[in-house]
Structure 1
Amino acid sequence: MATDGGTASDDLTPTYREEGSFERDMDYVPDRITKDARTPEHGPTDVRLWPVEPGRYRLVAAPACPWANRSLIVRHLLGLEDAISLGTPGPTHDARSWTFDRDPGGKDPVLGIERLQEAYFARFPDYEKGITVPAVVEVASGELVTNDFPWITHDLFHEWRDHHRPDAPDLWPDECREEMEEVMERIFTEVNNGVYRSGFAGSQEAYDDAYERLWTAMDWLEERLTDRRYLMGDAITEADVRLFTTLARFDAVYHGHFKCNRNKLTEMPALWGYARDLFQTPGFGETVDFEQIKAHYYVVHTDINPSGIVPQGPDPAVWQTPHDRAGL
């Protein structure tokens, strides 16, 4: 599997290399949920293995966060809503933790906690790292199982197959897996994380480098998607899920807030058509909450936006306009 490390939420206190470039934390709780707690073929195996068991786990995923948004999409595409329940923290967490401030009484209705931090501490009382989403929590114990977000979606597909809906898409096709790994690696390093390297750059030189790398990759994607409907051809894969969550936030947040402003997504014909195509596909658009997305970035990142003012635009109605990509 392509390396996809990084803090799964948006850091309040970014860390930097000496030259001022943003460096994403790559250390997670790496436990895996596998069928019958088996040793998986791919990925880390020297970890605690938990068995697939419908109803045992709760996915905690804030709609505001792009890394968590992946898991929301995959859970929906595979039809796992009845097998894995969902908790949704609000968008404006503080330095301590994501909170369930939008639930009645400010508590998750299943876990009964106010802060996701409580599930981390239930498993690791001395946990010192950031409290990130997505996270999988064991309902009975209230303990964190894993927050290793790239493997969460990987295992939802490979290990929970017995509980997928009958017409669930093949998100990891064997015939193109090697190429897909390479595509996802470039998307993560240059686009998913590239917007953060621009937004959290600590020097002009670091920003300039991040900006150039981002737009080189965006131009590569524009070309790649000019004559193919999806990244790997004519069917949606995990690669499309991973790219979509960044594109969905691009004009609303990354263009201005993170200074990724060479042009807007709406000004790139292939990428904009592709993004709308996915948005209008069941499982994608309904997981996107632009109000929460904007509230998260513009309120939480006080170092970038000290006023806390949240912009009104852009108009989300543009995402429902025709994309004309079905014939590719």
Structure 2
Amino acid sequence: MDHALVIGGTRFIGRHLVEELLEHDYDVTLFNRGNHENPFADTDGVDHVQGDRTDDGDLVEAAAVEPDAVFDCVAYFPRDVRQATTVFDDVDAYVYISSGAAYGREDLPKREGFTPLCECTDEQAIADESDTYGPRKAEGDRAVFEAAADGVNAMSVRPPIVYGPHDYTERLDYWIDRIHRFDRVVLPGDGTNLWHRVYVEDVASGMRIVAEEGEPGESYNVGDQRAVTLRGMLELIDESLAAVDPDHEAGVELVTAGARELAAADLALEDFVLYRDPPHMLTTEKVAQLGWESTPLSEAMERTVDDHLASDRTGRENGPDRADEERILGVLDTLTE
């Protein structure tokens, strides 16, 4: 395959995917509405077709570039996937970004072809709400399976929480900012909470490898091959800050706080970004069999922290503010006196 069409391609996962494809000698065409700055506007080997992926006519026009592979980074509704697999029914590979949220049972770990997917009602399929995200992604997976049964070379990739440079969600930025600025940080729960994450460059390489080596009708989990707890993640951030910022001294004190202590500040465990109960973990053996592997955690986090420091992102709106955190620390200090 020589020519890739990336639906999206300018913000986060899509941006890293374009870089991955260029590094592997693909010519790339971006297809999007042009609402965000295009970091590849002056890059050789990258063209741009402007249009709305939800408009059937625009999607047909994008197909006129005759790509070998199509990577769908912004399919948020089942109709998006059905529409794309109809228009691109003759490509060598159509790869849809699904999500670990598509799984409908709290298995540990969640496995492709074994853990059931979420059900999706007709109402959920068109509702742009946070609690319909998993069902919509699951129905998109089913659309991939249906297309493959009809002869389309369609596959999906399921990442859990994605982190890394250019993350506009600023979820991890909340914790990097907190650890960078303060010596004591509240750790919700007992620190053993586990929510599987994946470095964004590994999602990009996973998509390319699935396009090249995957089987139509299959889904592939991609996640850090060494998962860490919430405590482990915060410690890794602290170590990475010390590695990239000479003014940061590692050794942040992580102070655990349970539901009762948090309630003293009118907070709950779930108010802290990247806290999840029950734990969430995906298997990655299936994609590894295609030749994929994840970036070592220390390397991935150092790149993420370095990008955070060079940006204006803080993520502070994603969790409790410092005043609330100091009230919690005060309560905990009183209990230990």
Larger gyration radius, structure 1 or structure 2: 2
Report the TM-score when normalising by structure 2: 0.28
Report the TM-score when normalising by structure 1: 0.29
